Amino acid sequence: MKKLDSKRQILFGKNLLRIRNEKGLSQDEVAARCRVTKGSLSVIENGGRNFSFTTLLALAKALEVQPKELLDLDFDLN
């Protein structure tokens, strides 16, 4: 299950990065808006960290998107 979770984290990170780039925001800007470190944001974007629901909501608010947009991933649920 760990490998599958890692793949999901990578997909989430890529989606987060795509949305951040579409919004024209730097990691510094998003990190400051959601009160995480730039390093933590980088790790999330690279799929290296599982994070809390609170962080998901903060990221969505920082990017001015609905949380479901961050979770709009195409992966197998099994």
* pLDDT single digits (tens) 21-78: 999 999 999 999 999 999 999 999 999 888 999 999 999 999 999 999 999 887 665 5
- What integer pLDDT is reported at residue 5 of this predicted model? 74
Q: Look at residue 75 in the predicted model and tell me its pLDDT.
A: 61
pLDDT at 76 (0 to 100): 61
DSSP notation for the chain:
-HHHHHHHHHHHHHHHHHHHHHTT--HHHHHHHHT--HHHHHHHHTT-----HHHHHHHHHHHTS-HHHHT-------
pTM assigned to the model: 0.88
Q: What domains are defined for the chain?
A: 2-63 (1.10.260.40)
The reported pLDDT for the residue numbered 15 is 95
